[in-house]
Structure 1
Amino acid sequence: MAYRGSVKPFANFNDKQDAEILHRAMKGIGTDEDAILMVLAARSNDQRQKIKAAYKKTHGKDLVSALKSELSGLLEKLIVALMTPGILYDATQLHKAIKGAGTNDEVLIEILASRTGEEIKEITKAYKKEFGNKLEKDICGDTSGHYQRLLVILLQGSREEEIDESKIEKDAKDLYAAGEGKFGTDEEKFITILGNRSVEHLRRVFDAYRKLCGSDIEESVKGETTGNLENLLLAVVKCVKSVPGYFAEGLYKSMRRAGTDDDARIDHVRIMVSRSEVDMLDIKECFKKMYGQSLYTTIQEDTEGDYQKALLYLCGGND
């Protein structure tokens, strides 16, 4: 498979040299943000971890703490995110979403609906190691009902692998009978089918569903469920259809409401950072197709300053 990230490992990488560039950028009066960005946005996460180790060895200080003391606001959040290993970053985002008053359901939904089974297992391990608690227990403490049930199923990271030909028609009929075909909704059926079947299998089920009822499964989910359960089911459906498409939509929405909304800005920090080495090139393609303008241009219109520069680096240039 071709590499679809916008950030690639830097070819002539030298961790000690990079650590020195960063040290000089933070020395004396004022900070050279450009130098920091040029290094960190153009290195892979593995390389950033090596720079961090080299910096500590030479200067006896933690690089992330040093960066935090020099930067502020969204740029600081973005750089700290870039310096965090990917799986640990997801675990930390989930922890922030759960702890304290209220729950940031958007973050729970985004991460658990879009990550692969393997990634979710790794995130669960990292969460336990970092925060001493079980992720499932913490999520159950903050959620309830059918929404909680589906989150717990997704947390197992154990979707079926195969397409089961014998179940495609039946699953489509069961989804219809559980929603549009009856008075009231059988949420359990939605949860079991959408939470457990393989992605390829579900794509076939959605096609069969459209033939059967003449409408998209999304319409049924919207008509039959509400609140967090609806949002989670929709996210699962969108990710089954196209993970890059799901993130293109997430970026568009967060950019469009980012004027003064810090939560929205944190949303696009999270998406840009966590997808930069996964599928950012595909996200850009979907973005262009869905909204008729490039992600690059949208970032230029909706952000400013060094923070904008950082996002443009992560976006991988103008298409």
Structure 2
Amino acid sequence: MTGSGFRPVFHPAGHDHALRHALQDLRAGRWGAMARLLDDTPHWDGWTRRTQVLATVAAGTDVVHAWRAEDPDSAAAAVMHGRVAVERAVRAHRAGHARTRTLWQEAWTACREAAGRAPADPVPWIGLLALAALDARRHIAEHRVRPPAPMLPPGPWGLLAEADRRDPYNREAYHRMLQFVYARSDGPLSEAVNYVQWAASTAPTGSPLHALPLYVRVERYRRARGHEHALDLHWVAEDAIREARHAMDEWFLFCAVPEASPLDLNHLAHALYGALHFTDAARVFEALGPYYTTLPWADRVPRPADRSRAEEVFLRARARCLAG
């Protein structure tokens, strides 16, 4: 893994080999492995992560539709239907598609139906949170609820509370809320900073929410049009180092790596590398194994869409840290 022949692997399943098999089955137009995988997923964190990854592939197919047709009583199929509908609406919104509003309404209905079919499941509420980011002007009343703490903006706090009630500190739920905060403001990121600091301060030890501030720091760098400066002052500022150390000490040292988000691990490796904490960064790179995500490395290059250049930055950072 540390030699010159190392090649990073970009795969949404990361260390989850059972999920990888289900994705292969899904791409072949079959839903059986997906159904069995979800049936064998006992915890909400794994359930949330797996349904999200499955939906990114299923959204381009009619496999979930076929599953529901053959097994109409399946609550898991209803939840996946909501997942797929949300994914399609979000993609349409991002692309400025003319059918965005229709897909948004279909997704909202699908999530509400799934919530009724699976009342203990946080995922339908996470889907509604994802849709809230499409309502940047907060036209819908449930998207402008009073916040739970000072310095936080009004937003879909009731939806977050519903997800929290079913799975406290659910990683995706809090990331979806961050996307809403981003969507409602094109100006300074002070609201996002306040939000992630609040979330991290309330999260228990071992929670991936301690990595949330790392995402806002990358967003600040991206908006400032910072480019390929490997040891940019942005990353060695006192607060940047503090955020990286906090994520290391409060999350990484306690997390089960095979169940951790590859995106979180890449953000932490990136933050520690930028903070010049190469020894700690090496531990995260070793935990990652071959699994690489384009972000946040793509924000270090002049053209973020150039994946090959982003991969080069990742490889340089990894080699520098492991050399120590």
Asked which structure has the greater RCO (Cα within 8 Å, sep 6+), the reply is 1
The TM-score bracket by the shorter chain reads: 0.3 to 0.5
TM-score by length of 1: 0.37
Q: Look at both structures and tell me which one has the larger radius of gyration over its CA atoms.
A: 1
The structure with more helix, counted as a fraction of residues: 1
